[in-house]
A = this chain, B = another copy of it.
Amino acid sequence: MKFEFRNPTHLVFGAGSLSRLGEMVGAHGKKALLVTGGGSVRRNGTFDRAVSSLKASGIAVAECSGVEPNPRLSTVQRGAEIARREGCDVVVALGGGSVMDASKVMAAALFYEGDLWEMFPHGQASRRLPERALPIVTVPTLAATGSEMNGGAVITDEKSTVKSFVTARCLYPQTAIVDPELTANVPQDQTAYGICDLITHVTESYFNGVDGTPLQDRFAEGVILTAMEWGPKAVADGLDIEARAQVQWASVVALNGWVQIGTLSPYPVHMIEHSLSAHHDIAHGAGLAVVGPAWMRFAAKTRPERFAQFSERLFGLPLQRPEDAEAAAQGIDRFEAFLRSIGCPTRLSEVGIGGALLERYAKDTLLVARGADGRLPGRPAMSEKDIVEVLHSAL
């Protein structure tokens, strides 16, 4: 186990913490680019409360609204242009993962010379990480992505329909204001997709990380157990703020680095899903619910002992031996049943995706994440044929 870790984000967590937005942003700037999504924050009053808090602290506001799910490079460019024109010195992301990811790249775009797409791996040789960004303050309105407290962002280039990611030190938010009350209006389906998203963040490192990280295993299991305990309550009653808080706290921890630390994990399920949501307008979390169990059944063939541990510790299934393939399969079935129980789709057909483009998705996946051996990094590494096989099993 060998690693470096530093997460400088100042986290402010708790119901009602939105009221501290102005105070927190005021530490970093005087004019905020306030980035939002499709308009729900306007309809439910969150936007007005955010603006009031900013104005009460003497912070001027320029708006960039309309960031779409699976945010596009052109949207990032539009936001950066507004920030430049309006002289913004801080970026405030008020929304879900798409808004936060787009905001981070907008903040870096102001200092990035040349083609923004060069920040992102997408099958071409040249890649330059951003080195500087405006200060970023995140205010998530959805418990899912973990983007509020990490240095990553996922963006889609609409010209090539490739969805790719960037991780850089300058993209860590200065402050994350995580107020579970803001998630109270998230509809049932999106709540469920968020739960699947956060769980998948930790199953990725649990199943694909290096050996010999027992404490990280325990942390990952803790996130999943907490999400499985409190997730159904948040889905059943969106106004249960206690459940919303527990789910959102799990979502922050699931991708702020505490669980993944030292695991050197790739994210094969995410990579495959990204190639789906780049082509189809599906929620990322819904796509993960489809790809995840299918991938698990594929990976369990080569590594049953890992999935047997998952089955034993998460679902209390007794093991006949450490590499008990039957118990492994049962655990995956239970996990899939959990996803279905909260309303997630688990077949491609349920999200309106047929078999016509399976090879294209596989090729796109490998365009973004390809190891030295030409395969998708993970345990096991996957060829194009393997990816097609997994997707085919999920039709």
Contacts and interface: CB of A to CB of B under 8 A. Distances in A.
A8 B6 contact: yes
Contact of A11 (B6, B225, B226): B6
A230 interface: yes
Given A4-B13, A249-B262, 4 more contacts: A3-B11, A215-B223, A218-B221, A218-B223
A14 B3 contact: yes
A219 interface: yes
Interface in A240-290: 242, 245-246, 249-250, 253, 258, 262
Nearest to A179: B2
A262 B13 contact: yes
Interface in A1-46: 1-17
A352 interface: no
A324 to B, nearest CB: 18
22 contacts: A1-B13, A1-B249, A2-B15, A4-B10, A4-B12, A4-B13, A5-B13, A6-B8, A6-B9, A8-B8, A212-B246, A214-B226, A214-B230, A215-B223, A215-B226, A217-B222, A218-B218, A218-B219, A218-B221, A218-B226, A219-B219, A221-B222
Contact of A222 (B15, B222, B246): B222
A12 B1 CA distance: 11
B218 A222 contact: yes
A237 interface: no
A229 interface: yes
Interface in A353-387: none
Contacts of A7: 7
A3 B13 contact: yes
Given A8-B6, A8-B8, A13-B1, A214 B242 contact: no
A11 B5 contact: yes
A17 B2 CA distance: 9
Closest 3 CB pairs of A and B: A218-B222, A2-B14, A6-B10
Interface string A140-172: 000000000000000000000000000000000
